[in-house]
Amino acid sequence: MSWAPSDLVTDQDLVAYEADILTNFGQIDWESRRSKALEDWLFPLLAANNFPPYRLRTRYVADAVFGFTGGVYSDLSSAAHDTTADDINLATLFATPGTDAFYIGSTQPFRGLSIRMLDTVSSATGQLTVQLWSDAWQSVGITDGTLHVSGKSLSGGGAVTWMPPFEWVERPINNSVSLYYAKVTMSAVPTSAKASQISVIRRSLLCAAVTFRTLALIFREAPTSQDGPWEKKADWYETQALTAFERVLPVIGGEFDTSVDDVIDQTEAVQTVEDVTHGGWTLERA
């Protein structure tokens, strides 16, 4: 499963700048405008600056992944990283709903999980819950992309995303180094479900630029029946989009995947702009 536009910019990012962006225009979501901002604006800009647009990624290898089943921790880091299919048995991992869990940790705060699954998916009605550590485990509201069947989390692979709180703090799990951890539980055993890879989704440095460009598109095409300073807002957001893009252009090297496996590993994450734009990528030199 390749990366999706919702990994880079979400409707929540738009609402953070314009609280009424959905209700004002009677829309359910702005997926089409977000896609247009990527395909018709960001990708040509990246290509013009010698960046390979379709190797831009938001998914990163987790620094630690632990299962907690029956009161015992298991290290799932290797299984979560490798390309072996269906080597994480989620039905066994969540054998006791509500108390069994898996913990996924990263050196940086992240805005979601990518859970890659093939055909062995859950057939049980159950809800996935995410908690983050803020000196206690606190639940966060999520958008669950694994709900391929209504009411059945893990009925398919997908992204589980949230808006990270400012009070999220690091902690160790199972004697690990201190990391930003997400704790994932299920309300029912995900019958038959197996995952191939689990990774974290980080906020891209390009998020602001694409958010501004998306807002410009929305206001440029605002319904004439809705009164408002739409043209002025569109002009302002267009200017802000280009300014934001130019501001982060010198530091986005670590957001490009050299092996085209949808996930950036720790080596790729420290690539410089020169590594990416001049062909001498870190892994290719190693």
Give 187-216 pLDDT, tens digit per residue.
999 999 999 999 999 999 999 999 999 999
Q: Are 209 and 189 in the same domain? A: no
The residue behind tokens 């966060």 is: 140
Q: Are 85 and 192 in the same domain? A: yes
Q: Are 138 and 265 in the same domain? A: no
pTM of the model: 0.90
Q: Are 71 and 172 in the same domain? A: yes
Q: Are 179 and 243 in the same domain? A: no
Spatial distance between the Cα atoms of 58 and 253, rounded to a whole number of angstroms: 12
At 117-165, the pLDDT tens digits run: 999 999 999 999 999 999 999 999 999 999 999 999 999 999 999 989 8
Spatial distance between the Cα atoms of 38 and 33, rounded to a whole number of angstroms: 9
CATH classification of the domain holding 98: 2.60.120
Describe the strand order of the beta sheet including 64-69 as a list of residue ranges: 72-75, 64-69, 101-106, 180-186, 128-133, 137-139
Q: Judge whether 55 and 256 are in contact, CB under 8 Å.
A: yes
The two structure tokens encoding residue 242: 């280009």
Last residue within a domain, chosen from 201, 232, 248: 201
The residue behind tokens 């990366």 is: 3
Domain that includes residue 191, residue range = 62-201
The pLDDT of residue 223 is 66
Q: Which of 217, 215, 212, 222 is nearest to 25 (CA)?
A: 222
The SS3 of residue 214 is helix
The pLDDT of residue 286 is 43
Q: At what angle do helices 230-248 and 207-220 cross, to 10 degrees?
A: 160
Element at 215 (helix H, strand E): helix 207-220
Question: Distance between alpha carbon 103 and the CA centroid of its chain, in Å?
Answer: 16
The pLDDT of residue 258 is 86
Q: Residue 1: which pLDDT band, with cuts at 50, 70 and 90?
A: very low
Q: Are 52 and 25 in the same domain? A: yes
Last residue within a domain, chosen from 151, 176, 201: 201
For residue 199, give the amino acid letter: S
Last residue within a domain, chosen from 201, 230, 255: 201
Considering its fold, how many domains does the chain have in total?
2
| Cβ neighbours of residue 20 closer than 8 Å, sequence gap 6 or more | none
The two structure tokens encoding residue 235: 């002009």
Q: Are 68 and 161 in the same domain? A: yes
Q: Are 102 and 164 in the same domain? A: yes
Q: Are 183 and 211 in the same domain? A: no
Distance between terminal CA atoms of the chain?
27
Element at 36 (helix H, strand E): helix 31-36
The pLDDT of residue 254 is 93
Q: Are 182 and 74 in the same domain? A: yes
Q: Judge whether 135 and 224 are in contact, CB under 8 Å.
A: no
Q: Are 96 and 142 in the same domain? A: yes
Q: Are 192 and 66 in the same domain? A: yes
For residue 195, give the amino acid letter: A
